[in-house]
Amino acid sequence: MTVERLQLLTRRNCHLCELARSPLADLAAAQGLGISEFDIDEDPALLRQFTDRVPVVLYRGQVLAEGRIDPGRLREGFVAISTGDGRGPDDSVTVAERKVNRG
């Protein structure tokens, strides 16, 4: 059985990326999810798409949070996406989701 994953898009020397790891780990643990982390500087498509937006948290192909990650909003966004309430598909992550969902 495959565990669903949250994807964290980061870059080196990013203070906000460092701060995003703790609330993301808390959410993943509470929901039984895995975490995949990707450095956008190592992938030209991710770099073009997210260069000024990191950190970015993706879940089920949608942007869950970006920039300064607020734990409360992160949980709210997760609930909205996981229950189908709220946001629809976010076309801005189409290319990244193909890249990010590779494992």
SS (H, E, C) 5-60: EEEEEECCCCHHHHHHHHHHHHHHHHHCCEEEEEEHHHCHHHHHHHCCCCCEEEEC
- The CATH homologous superfamily for domain 5-100 is Glutaredoxin (3.40.30.10)
38 contacts 93 by C-beta, under 8 angstroms: no
Output the pLDDT for position 63: 93
| 14, 15, 39, 74, 80 from 102: Cα distances, Å | 24, 26, 14, 23, 24
> Is 17 within 8 Å of 11 (Cβ atoms)?
yes
Two structure tokens written together for 20: 């995003």
pLDDT along the chain (103 residues), means of 10: 92 96 98 97 95 95 94 95 66 45 42
- What residues does each domain of the chain span? 5-100
Predicted pLDDT of residue 16: 97
Give pLDDT, residue 91: 38
The residue assigned the tokens 């996981």 is: 82
Q: Is 97 within 8 Å of 90 (Cβ atoms)?
A: no
Residue 12 confidence (pLDDT): 95
pLDDT of residue 2: 83
pLDDT at 84: 86
Give me the phi and psi of 73, to 5 degrees please.
-70, -35
